[in-house]
Structure 1
Amino acid sequence: MDKVLENRICLLIKEMTLEEKTGMIHGAGLFRTAGVERIHIPPLKMSDGPMGVRSEFVNDQWMPVGTPDDYVTYCPSNSAIAMTWNRKLARNAGKVLGEEARGRGKDVILAPGINIKRTPACGRNFEYISEDPRLTSELAVPIVRGIETSDVAACVKHFAMNNQETERLWVNVEADERTMREIYFPAFQAVVQKAGAKSIMGSYNLIRGTHVCENKDIMGTVLRKEWGFDGTIISDWGAVHTTKGTAEGPLDIEMSVTSDFDDYFLANPLISEIRKGHIDEACVDEKVRNILRMMVRLHMIELTEVPDSDGKKKILVQKNKNRKAGSYNTAKHRFEVLKVARESITLLKNEDRKLPLDPAIDKVLVIGQNAVISQAMGGGSAEIKALYEITPLLGISKFLGGNCEVRYARGYDIPAKKESDHNWQEDSLDASKAAAETAKETEDSARLRKEAVELAKEYKHVIYVGGLNHDQDLEGQDRADLTLPYGQDRLITELLEVRPDMTIVMLAGSPVSMKPWADRAKAIVWMSYSGMEGGTALAEVLFGAVNPSGKLAETLPEEIPECFRKEAYFPGRPLTDEEKKHMNAHLTQTYAEGIFVGYRYYEKNRIPVQFCFGHGLSYTDFTYDNLKIEEIPSKARANGFDVQLQVRNVGALEGKETVQLYLGEKTVSPENPVKELKAFEKICLRPRETKTVLLKITMEDFMHYDEAAGTWRLKHGDYRIYVGSSLQDIQLTQDITI
């Protein structure tokens, strides 16, 4: 820690009044705090979100300013970035987001979201990276580093255990220490200790009976003390519920969705409690200290020590003229998001090499509403005022050009939403909606289905683009099941009867069930919300200009796992009488599955899935060979192992392959997963080219958390190293003894 800086911050705080200090620790606008104009401390300006900088709002109303200068680059969602398995692209995506935020005059961007995808039904999964903590960590770190290159703080969210939208403000999470340490904490620890994240967002929920934003165990002991976080902790909007508990806790800034800023818990109520002697003013000083430290690190201000008229030391606050200016809506940004979109497209199935399609075809029929609707302005706080958005239909049409007739049929109907005279966020502190039921087929959809099926009979080449939209992938609600909405299963089934080689594109931010028709389909492509150039990337993959290299960052199960159909697992059970006495909650959610989340659960319980974690095909083929494992020696003990192998492109096209390394016990213990992802590397190979891949695993990768001892333990014994193209497509294995 910079002792000179800390001393100057302390001196500056002594010059401030209580009112000035409290103005810095709560919202003075919907997306800003108050500055201290008297001594030139600026306000802290923030913005959503994870897919681009949100449109500008009036300071005290959820009403867009309405000027045309806040159009931005629509970035790929974190679920799309995750499918690239590409650390460099993740960093570049973060860099675009940071530059755009700074270009719009923001100091903090509320991103990335890195919560683990505990259940496939969570409505906000499209904002998150993966069900796996290692993959989440490996991509979150470069995203944060990329954002913060532009003198903008990444506010990493939502710490911690915010894994459902149902009763998100009032659900109490109960999980054992091992589960938290092995599954839900690692990515947050990584962005703090490896990426140096400058701010963290406190989540809505409770953990073990206490709301996170005043939870001294989670925010204080773990985040501040164990991980050494000295940045700024900002509440989710409306996540603070008390004055004393929050003031005396580690949280620094209270934000909310209402405009009564002076009545926030850390505003006038806090001043009153301090004046009465109920709360020590030092609590406020600590929060201001963390904020000022972040401001200096962001090059917002410079603190200079000067003598005052009495010869005593005084701190002069000046604007740092060397702060980066940022930029937005540049051609470079648009190209960077296109590169991410290209590598996010994931080929799930390609029987008989049906893809790629011939770009010289004379005519093609595109069916499905997701081919034409814009996704940018949906999803909740991830909504974006995009400069433009290339939809799948537009991408296909502009790729094929005038020599091909591209015809479109809706196929199904998405009922129009009721118009509202206010922004959804005004009501977002009300109890969360129940799980959204699957939208059924309407009369219009039935008519559109029949029309599309008849039309498909006339076309040799048919591309179906369906899936979900932001009526399902939506902040504030979860899904009741994984069934496709709007009667799509029947539509796809009937289309396959008349056009069995139809290409199917599923556009979604979370899993859907393809069970009714997947076995009959020849070609299935998966894409998430891939940003403003998503349609361009899709067309390039479908017609062979780009070889697909995406890999699933989450399992695609056939249905919501049985365990999550039990109230105790999801969305939670009513409180007991004893719980009602000591916690401000509506539900208790017990993570009874423990560490068996995502592929760990399916593999341990031998549950078949549609497509496994890490799966993704290419238009070329790869072989794996010559696995060699060498121990890395050290003076005290082994540091780990170097795992080396050769990968060869045996096909006729250049392609990218993600080599994945999993680790498990040779004889699997009941309390441990079969295997877990520990390393991966994405490589590009020309036809007939061979490359040597080096993957490193440390001794920590063999450890599990011992709750009784309160520490990580290495169990001696025999382990198996698995290397392959996915969780299930294991090419090479070797046993080692620890």
Structure 2
Amino acid sequence: MKTETYEVQIGKLLEQLTLEEKIGMIHGAGLFRTEGVERLSIPPLFFSDGPMGVRAEFADNEWRNTGTTDDFVSYLPCNSAVASTWNRELAGEEGRVLGEEARGRGKDMILAPGINIKRSPFCGRNFEYMSEDPYLISELVVPMVKGIQQSDVAACVKHFAANSQETERLWVDTKVSPQTLEEIYFPGFRAAVQKGGVHAVMGAYNLLNGEHCCTSKKLLNGTLRRDWGFDGVVVSDWGGVHDTREAAEAAIDVEMEVTYDFDQQYMAEPLLKMVRSGEISEALIDEKVRNILRLMFRLHMIGEKRETRKTGTYNSREHQDTVLKIARESVVLLKNEEECLPLDAKKVKRVAVIGQNAAAIHSNGGGSAEIKALYEISPLLGIKKLLGGNVKVEYAPGYYIPGKEAQGSVNWQADSTKKDWGKTSEEAEVSDETKECRKRFREEAVALAKECDTVIFVGGLNHDFDSEGYDRTTLTLPYEQDALIGELLAVRPDTVIVLYAGSPVAMPWNEQAKAVLWSYYAGMEGGTAIAEILFGKENPSGRLAESFPKDANDCPAHTIGTFAKKDVVEYKEGVMVGYRYYDTVDTPLYYGFGHGLSYSRFVYKYMTVRPVTASAETGGTMDAPRYELAVTVKNDSLRAGKEVVQVYVAPKERQDDRPAHKLCAFEKMELMPGEEKTVTLLLTAAAFSVYDEKQHAFAEKMGSYEIEAGSSSRDIRLRWEREHFLSHPGR
């Protein structure tokens, strides 16, 4: 007997469902679940945040933790850390671990990954996102999604779309041109859908060109469903729906909320009444339920393969090893003058570790990214573990952080969708007591630094600043850290600076520092990775996935993009985001996109470029190959290391509103001492295409181009050009 297709079985289930049962399936019946239909063996859908691990268990109808010792999980590197590995395989491994842990905790959908563009360094959720570059995001989100979904768990990419700030987060209307959307803000989501096969998409809180994203017909019915062919489930962000009719007519399938009156959600009783009265067609509800049932078949929640659904696991030793592997490749060595690093563990006898972030725990903050980590290795612990008992490691906090008042038992999310939510995060007015404490902490730290043979400062941001619901207002490090760093460098010029943060910070002391190491929130083994790199047990191979500007006023989001009024922001910079702008106008930066040093030295020797003919299947698509590059690199050092070969395409005929170049290919390669290796990369039609608003499609632009290969967007080692270089070889 031939097995019935999903669609046939879905049709039969729809015929048996009552209207009330259908309505129960399309809105929250608990804070993180929908309603099932027990008589038809249709289970509820269980959701969980988030991007850095499966969140703690909450009560069904109250923001109160209910887990005891059973909901501790692995704390994974944040998406910014994953992006800084520039490693597709590791992105897939991060996804695999996240999917296995979500399924192990009994979840059906993990609300990850976050892939919004890092448009401004001020966005409080930047640590949850990957990069300022849409191509890099697209290349990493696909393996991450596939990794998650190996475990019969749905990945849910978020937040769709153009969601780049927390200020006025539910009510800000982002005005973005079609070309900018297609070239900058859509590619990651499009790749997740069409190449990653993602099962779910979360709508964003903000409005896009006048429509709330969660109920936008243009965005959901048009772009996502019609243009990209998405047939999975669209979930609202919690509290992102504001109108019953809009929700019914838009291609959103599940409404979720932060409040507890589930029956009064827009897609609950109000929708039921409108269907019964004939104001809204039941066919619209059927389509939403159809998408949900299709998801359940795909996850083996229902149907013949229900007994084969994967069980998952969490807190396995293998997961911890994988987290460490990712953390090691995420750390970025920004500066290393006079070969200050690596430190020699055999020569140090007394080490001063200074700075609150040396001992801080970050897993339990950041908003919905917070998790209940099984453990977290701080840099201080990592250093002490590595050096052992023969080296005296002494800690001083260095800078003072005033205590916070207890927030009580009510979770912040209960208030997070109110009109005045979504603010800026600033330091409170400094009291005389705080001033005195900071002075004393600084004096103690500097005194310790004078006494020790090695000084390591660990500072940066924390989740008071990198957090959902808040945006920063300045690049300046909080808690007067710059003053402390300046004093440490004055007495110990070889002080090693280590910074933890989710997005760029100002470094006014950068010229004086000899060694600067950067880490995003790198998970439960982040401190181990930091220690291993500091003392040379590991060779740093992370590369920045965003530019580090010296002044926020240089950022195009702030110099060109404008607030027309309090709740309207115009993305006037268009496609000139991040390095596309900075490199075009030659803006002074601390460090450019793609930058990262190694303890090895890599020499770029040759590049050859040859045209290739696309196959009949791909000839007319953006993925059609146009040129094959062979780049030869040599490790001209005595140490094995990893280099990221980055390829940029630069049009010779420049236009004011177009970037000087853009990333179009990359590959991470490992080379042994003295080894010479050639890596092959493909440039597709997308490398030579722009979005034509009149044609409503991408079009290849014929003309002269320069192909650049290098170690960052500002460290181009090889160039290849041809006077009449055409993007249509063989035509």
Tell me how far apart the structure 1 counterparts of residues 586 and 481 of structure 2 sit (CA, whole Å): 29
Structure-1 separation of matches of 2:458 and 2:496: 9
| C-alpha distance in 1 between matches for 2:192 and 2:580 | 23
TM-superposed CA distance for 1:438, in Å, is: 4.5
TM normalised by structure 1 equals 0.94
Q: Does 1:713 align with 2:704?
A: no
Do the aligned residues in 2 keep the contact of 1:438 with 1:481 (CA within 8 Å)?
no
CA distance in 2 between partners of 1:703 and 1:568 (Å): 24
What is the match of residue 538 of structure 1?
530
After superposition, what is the alpha-carbon deviation per residue over 1:9-43, rounded to whole angstroms, capped at 9, x for unaligned? Answer: 11211111111000000000000000001111000
Relative to structure 1, the CA distance from residue 566 to residue 642 in structure 2 (aligned partners, 3 Å threshold; closer, same or farther) is closer
Question: Which of 576, 591, 600 is residue 620 of structure 1 equivalent to?
Answer: 600
Farther off after superposition, 7-16 or 543-552? 7-16
Shift of 1:83: 0.6
Deviation (angstroms), 1:229: 0.2
* d(CA) in 2 for partners of 1:230, 1:125: 29
Q: How far did 1:566 drift?
A: 5.3
Equivalent residues in 2 for 1:301-450, closer than 5 Å: 301-302=302-303, 320-360=306-346, 361-421=348-408, 422-430=410-418, 431-438=420-427, 442-450=435-443
RMSD, matched Cα:
1.5
User: Who is 2:729 aligned against?
Assistant: none
| 3-state SS of 1:723 partner | strand
1:665 paired with 2:651, answer: yes
Once residues 560 and 279 of structure 2 are traced to their aligned partners in structure 1, the CA distance between those partners, rounded to angstroms, is 39
1:559 and 1:661 map into 2 onto residues whose CA distance is: 27
Amino acid at match of 1:148: Q
- Match of residue 553, structure 1, among 534, 545, 555: 545
Q: Output the amino acid matched with 1:415.
A: P
Match of 2:149 in 1: 148
Report SS of the residue matched to 1:321.
helix
Cα offset, 1:634, TM superposition: 4.4
Structure 1 residue 698: deviation in Å? 1.1
User: Quick one: structure 1 residues 519 and 3, their matched pair in 2 at CA, closer, same or farther if it must change by over 3 Å?
Assistant: farther
Paired position in structure 2 for 1:15:
16
Matches of 1:51 and 1:573, distance apart in 2: 35
Match of 2:468?
475
**Which residue number in structure 1 is paired with residue 564 of structure 2?**
573
Residue 573 of structure 1: how far off its partner (Å): 3.2
Secondary structure class of the residue paired with 1:9: helix
Asked if the contact 1:649/1:687 (under 8 Å) is kept, the reply is: yes
What is the aligned partner in structure 1 of residue 81 from structure 2?
Answer: 80
Which residue number in structure 1 is paired with residue 678 of structure 2?
692
Of residues 456, 462, 477, the one that matches 2:455 is 462
Partner of 2:60: 59
What CA distance in whole angstroms lies between the structure 1 residues aligned with 2:161 and 2:234? 12
Instruction: State the TM-score, normalized to the length of structure 2.
Output: 0.95
3-state DSSP class of the match of 1:645? strand
In the other structure, the counterpart of 1:309 is: none
Report the 3-state secondary structure (helix = DSSP H, G, I; strand = E; otherwise coil) of the residue aligned with 1:478: strand
- The size of the alignment, in residue pairs, is 709
Q: Do the aligned partners of residues 337 and 278 (structure 1) sit closer, same or farther apart at CA in structure 2, a change above 3 Å counting? A: same
3-state SS, counterpart of residue 138 of structure 2: helix
| Structure 2 counterpart SS, 1:285 | helix
2:238 counterpart residue number: 237
1:434/1:478 contact within 8 Å kept? yes
Q: How does 1:161-310 map to 2 (within 5 A)?
A: 161-302=162-303
Structure 1 CA distance for aligned equivalents of residues 555 and 97 of structure 2: 39
3-state DSSP of counterpart to 1:69: coil
For 2:38 and 2:680, the matched residues in 1 are separated by: 55
**What is the letter of the counterpart of residue 457 of structure 1?**
K
Cα distance in 1 for residues equivalent to 2:158 and 2:422: 21
- For residue 581 of structure 1, what is the aligned residue in structure 2? none
Segment drifting more, 34-43 vs 432-441: 432-441
From 508, 519, 529, the equivalent of 1:527 is 519
Residue type of the partner of 2:540?
Answer: P
2:609 maps to 629
Among all aligned residue pairs of Structure 1 and Structure 2, give the percentage whose two residues are the same amino acid: 55
Residue 316 of structure 1 is matched in structure 2 by none
Structure 1 equivalent of residue 665 of structure 2: 679
8 A Cα contact 2:117 2:185, kept in partner? yes
Code of the aligned partner of 2:192: V
Letter in 2 for 1:654: A
Tell me how far 1:454 sits from its aligned partner. 1.6
Q: 2:626 aligns with which of 626, 640, 644?
A: 640
Partner SS state of residue 396, structure 1: helix
Contact 1:52 1:73 in 2 (8 A): yes
SS at the partner of 2:328?
helix
Q: Does the 8 A contact of 1:35 with 1:41 survive in 2?
A: yes
The question of whether the paired residues in 1 share the 8 Å contact of 2:366 and 2:464 is answered with yes
Aligned-pair distance for 1:562?
Answer: 4.1
Query: For the residues of structure 1 that align with 2:631 and 2:377, how far apart are their CA atoms?
Result: 40
Q: Which amino acid aligns with 1:495?
A: L
The residue type paired with residue 83 of structure 2 is A
SS of the aligned residue for 2:326 comes to: helix
Deviation at 1:413, TM superposition (A): 1.0
1:420 deviates by 1.4
User: Counterparts of 2:423 and 2:48 in 1: how far apart (Å)?
Assistant: 28
Residues 509 and 528 in structure 1, CA contact (< 8 A), matched pair in contact too: yes
Q: Which amino acid aligns with 1:402?
A: G
User: In 2, are the aligned partners of 1:153 and 1:198 still within 8 Å (CA)?
Assistant: yes
Secondary structure of 2:310 counterpart: coil
State how far apart, in whole Å, the 1-side matches of 2:195 and 2:43 are.
Answer: 29
Q: Secondary structure at the match of 1:335?
A: helix
Work out which of the residue numbers 706, 715, 723 in structure 1 matches 2:709: 723
User: 1:343 offset after TM fit, Å?
Assistant: 0.4
252-261 or 413-422: which moved more? 413-422
> For residues 29 and 143 of structure 2, what CA distance do their matches in structure 1 show?
32
Question: Structure 2 counterpart of 1:82, which letter?
Answer: A
Bigger mean CA deviation after superposition, 190-199 or 661-670:
661-670
Q: Provide the rounded CA distance (Å) in 2 between the counterparts of 1:526 and 1:565.
A: 24
Structure 1 position 433, deviation (Å): 4.0
Deviation sequence 1:596-635 (CA, Å, 0-9, x none): 0111111122211000000000001000112100000247
The alignment partner of 1:75 has SS state of coil
CA drift at 1:451? 1.1
Asked if 1:607 corresponds to 2:587, the answer is yes
**Cα distance change, pair 635–265 in 1 and its aligned pair in 2 (3 A):** closer
Residue in 2 aligned with 1:118?
119
Aligned to 1:127: 128
Residue 313 of structure 1 corresponds to which residue in structure 2? none
Shift of 1:52: 0.2
State the distance in 2 between where 1:205 and 1:339 align: 36
In the TM superposition, residue 437 of structure 1 has moved relative to its aligned partner by 2.1
**Are 1:158 and 1:203, in contact at CA under 8 Å, matched by a contact in 2?**
yes
1:481–1:559 CA contact under 8 A, matched in 2: no
Q: Could you tell me which runs of 5 or more consecutive residues in structure 1 were left unpaired when the two chains were aligned.
A: 304-318, 575-585
Equivalent-residue separation in structure 2 for 1:186 and 1:661 (angstroms) = 18
The question of whether the paired residues in 1 share the 8 Å contact of 2:252 and 2:288 is answered with: yes
